[in-house]
Amino acid sequence: MLTPLRIFVLLLLTTPLWAQQEFKINAGGKTVAFSEIDELTIVGTSGSELIVEGRPDGSSNDDRADGLRQISASGLKDNTGAGLNVTESNGTIRIAQVGGNGKHVTVRVPNSASITVEQSTHRGGDLTVRDFSGSLDVSMMYHKAELDNVTGPVAVNTVYDEIVAVWNTAPTQEIRLHSTYSDVDITLPAATKADVRLSTGYGNMYTDFDINVKSNTVAGNEDDRDYDSPRDVNLGNLGGTINGGGTLISLTATYDNIYLRKQ
């Protein structure tokens, strides 16, 4: 016979604190455009479906909203159950937040897709992208962009917050990272072969790679000097190679520092 206490424990084990809800759409080979989502994690997947994971009824804790669907002033409706609006037109899937005060959402995107992300408001938080091998283009105004094992071609621009990126395997696609007022901090496998372009107008450059410097703006001329594991290189604009050269890695931190690390 089940006692009240045992029944309570059984309910805790079998009932989630909030029901997970998924929205799915075929996104293989398509462009996925994220717009103004407060807190977003993107995870690459080998399948063909884009999956939005989130709380039911958007992210509202308002009991009065039970049974209602959130809408925005621009006419967007939550058609995912996660506080997002998803539409598709001419091979592009557009995902936008409905209303303000959005909670964290995770979206799984096929590696065969191309991703663009735009976040221009103060609200919300950081962007995380991990285990994605398609093309990635990000524009962030006030929040951090964090990349983990993103192996496709990458272009990330932030204005007021930093870019932090880690590669577990040597990148084979072009990387361009630019932060205007904060740091660019990347970690690469020690054996990475790359052509590097580093630029900072008012900050410093730090690395534990051996960079074969080909050019810099401070020296005023082309040179070919070997730097023995330079820890602090402040040359304004630096072009060179690591491990003989290879994939282009372009890092710019206009008013802050660049960190180029060995894994």
Angle, CA of 244, 248 and 239, to the nearest 5°: 70
pTM of the entire structure? 0.82
Q: Kindly state the tokens that stand for 3.
A: 């006692």
Angle, CA of 173, 175 and 180, to the nearest 5°: 170
Q: Kindly state the tokens that stand for 42.
A: 């993107």
Alpha-carbon span 162 to 234, nearest angstrom: 19
Instruction: Tell me the per-residue pLDDT of 110-169, one tens digit each, with 9 for 90 and over.
Output: 999 999 999 998 888 899 999 999 999 999 999 999 999 999 999 999 999 999 999 999
Instruction: Tell me the per-residue pLDDT of 159-213, one tens digit each, with 9 for 90 and over.
Output: 999 999 999 999 999 999 999 999 999 999 999 999 999 999 999 999 999 999 9
